[in-house]
Amino acid sequence: MPRSNRPRRAGSAKTGSASTGAGKGAAGKGNAGARTGPAPELDLERARSGFARRESAPDGEWMVRSMTASRAEKTYICPGCSTAVLPGIAHLVVWSEDHLFGAAAGLAERRHWHSNCWTSRSYRYR
Taking the mean position of all CA atoms in its chain, how far away is CA 3? 36
Q: How confident is the model at residue 11, as a pLDDT?
A: 64
| Residues 6 or more apart in contact with residue 106 via CB below 8 angstroms | 63, 95, 96, 97, 98, 99
Q: Which residues pair with 94 in a beta bridge?
A: 64, 111
pTM of the model: 0.58
Residues of the chain with pLDDT under 50: 17-28, 126
Judge contact between 46 and 73, C-beta under 8 A: no
119: which DSSP letter? H
Residue 19: the pLDDT is 47
Q: How far apart are CA 48 and CA 65, in angstroms?
A: 10
Query: For residue 90, what pLDDT is reported?
Result: 93
